[in-house]
Amino acid sequence: MAMHALAVLGTSPEGATSAYIAGSVNTNAVFLRKTLRILAEAGIVDVREGRGGKYWLARPADLIRLSEVYEAVEPDGPLSPSEAEPNPQCPIGCGMRKAFGEVASLARESLLRQLHRKTVADVIRDAMS
C-alpha cells in the first residue's frame, strides 16, 4: 500500500488528497492516512493537513529508494520472532531466539540490499509500461 501511494504521488506533482490516493489503492482513506503518516515521519512524504490537505513526495521519485520505504513501514523486517517466550528449560527453546534472530537478520540484509537497487521512479515506470 505504501508503494502504491508513493507511485500515485510520484505522478501527481500538484499533490494528492488521501481520498484520491485511497481510490487508486482501493482502500479506506482513514486506513491509508496511517501509512502516509509513517512515510511523513520518515521524511519520504510531505503533508499539508486540514481542509484541502494534500500529500507530496518530499523529494523526487528517483531519489527515494525502496529500501528506505520498506524500513519506514516494516521496521521489524520480513521476519519477526514469536511473541511467545520460549521455555528456557528446553534445549531448543533456550537457543531459539538467537538462532532465529540470525536468520531474520540475514533475510533483512538481503531484502534491503535488493530494495536499495530500485527507486520509486523505477516502480512508477514499471507500473505504467
Q: What is the predicted pLDDT for the residue at 113?
A: 97
The pLDDT tens digits of the residues spanning 6-30 come to 999 999 999 999 999 999 999 999 9
**Cα-Cα-Cα-Cα dihedral sign, residues 42, 2, 35, 85:** negative
For cell 521496521, the residue is 75
In terms of Cβ atoms closer than 10 Å to its own Cβ (0-12, 13-18, 19+), residue 46 is: middle
Predicted TM-score (pTM) of the model is 0.85
For residue 58, give the DSSP letter: S
Check residues 98 and 119 and name the one with the higher pLDDT.
Answer: 119
Domains, in order of start, for the chain:
2-127 (1.10.10.10)
